[in-house]
Structure 1
Amino acid sequence: MDKNNRLQSNPMNKGSHSLGRLFLQLRRLERQPQNFGNAGSITPSEIHTIEGIGYEGAILMNELATHLGVTKGAVSQLIVRLEAKQLVMRSSYPHDSRAILISLTEKGKEAYKAHEEMHIQFYDQLRSELSQEEIEIFEKCIEKLNGFLQK
């Protein structure tokens, strides 16, 4: 038996292959722009930036970069694109004129709500296909996977 057949026939490798396929699928989804409400086509990085800003609040540009785990320069580029789409607006921070606050416009809030609804629908569909015990196991596995990936 050659090496590839041995690797594929080993039951311990099934999870590894499934995880690899999941990562490839997620990477594919991360490249696909989607429509969220009437906001038009929004890339995954843009909608996650909108999500990081939050529905009701405003966030400092540097805090947003930290929250998203990207550089200030990357956030600045995203904000320029989101401003051009009229989804966010900048304003001066009252306590420090050098700091910039980012908040959502009404159009941005609509995109935020549509994105949240998409997540709720996905999770509702998942719940309809899994038992309560499977949901609990799934949630624990996702938590552990997130922790592992943050290392």
Structure 2
Amino acid sequence: MPITDLSHAVAGSPPSGAVQSDKSAIAQRVIVLLDRLGRLTRELQFADGLNPAQWEALRFLAKANKYSRSPTALADYLGATKGTVSQTLIALESKGLITRCKKTEDRRQVDLCLTDAGQAMLGKDPMQTLEQATLEIADELGSEMVKGLSRLLHDLQTRNQINEFGVCQDCSLFCVNSQAALAALEVKPEAGTCGNTGETIDMAEKTKICVNYKTTN
């Protein structure tokens, strides 16, 4: 009688097919929850005379660095067409929430900036409701939620070749300046250099998101 190899079996462990089925069920549940949360947060953002795209544009401009405050970068971040973003910007400008300025280094490019009214509007951000709900579970699940959702987002962006828009100081192109370089540039010790442009990145800029962000391997 042939001897059956049972070395792979563990007493009490479920069959591999059952494990795969459980994983699939969890994945489907995550998809449903993300979809529901997305729909709910979208509805919340029809507030104070703005729509979801306009709110997201204000948030983006508040946290984007100097390389990213352009209509093209905003369209990339929102996953929207240039025409759609153009209409969003026209609406925000008509409400006095943003301004368009020509960049000093290249007059052909536009720098989008929040006005004081735009900054004040963000104080009414309807997503604060979601923030409060998240704070209630932060101690128990916060770090694991961030890890899991960040990984999911990164995987989807990689598969679909979508820019990540990460924080400048976490970028593989960000270089920490040596003391000699800092002295020559007469900048603060916290500054760094962008490996993409060669320009100095100050403390305020390096904590903002960038359209040129590259993941650190």
Q: Does TM-score exceed 0.5, indicating one fold?
A: yes
Bigger Rg over Cα? 2
- Give TM-score scaled by structure 2 length: 0.51
For this pair of structures, how many residues does the alignment match?
134
Q: Is the 8 A contact 2:41 2:127 kept in 1?
A: no
1:106 corresponds to 2:116:
yes
The C-alpha deviation readout for 1:101-137, integer Å capped at 9, x for no partner, is 211122211222333971542331222xx52xx3322
Q: Does 1:88 align with 2:98?
A: yes
| Structure with the larger strand share | 1
Tell me whether 1:97 sits opposite 2:97 in the alignment: no
Question: Does residue 1:17 correspond to 2:25, yes or no?
Answer: no
What TM-score do you get using the length of structure 1 for normalisation? Answer: 0.69
**Distance in 1 between the 2:122 and 2:49 partners?**
13
Q: In the superposition, relative to structure 1, how do residues 23 and 137 fare at CA in structure 2: closer, same or farther (>3 Å)? A: closer
1-structure distance, mates of 2:60, 2:37: 19
Aligned counterparts of 1:125 and 1:41: Cα–Cα separation in 2:
29
Q: CA distance change for structure 1 residues 65 and 111 in 2, over 3 Å: closer, same or farther?
A: same
**5 Å matches for 1:49-68?**
49-54=57-62, 59-68=69-78
The residue correspondences of 1:1-151 to structure 2 (distance < 5 A) are 10-29=21-40, 31-32=42-43, 33-35=45-47, 40-54=48-62, 59-115=69-125, 118=128, 120-127=131-138, 131=140, 134-150=141-157, 151=159
- Stretches of structure 2 that go unaligned for 5 or more consecutive residues are 1-20, 160-217
Query: Counterpart of 2:96 in 1: which secondary structure?
Result: coil
Measured after TM superposition, the shift of residue 46 of structure 1 is 1.2
Tell me the distance in 2 between the aligned counterparts of 1:122 and 1:51: 19
Give distance in 1, aligned partners of 2:38 and 2:136. 21
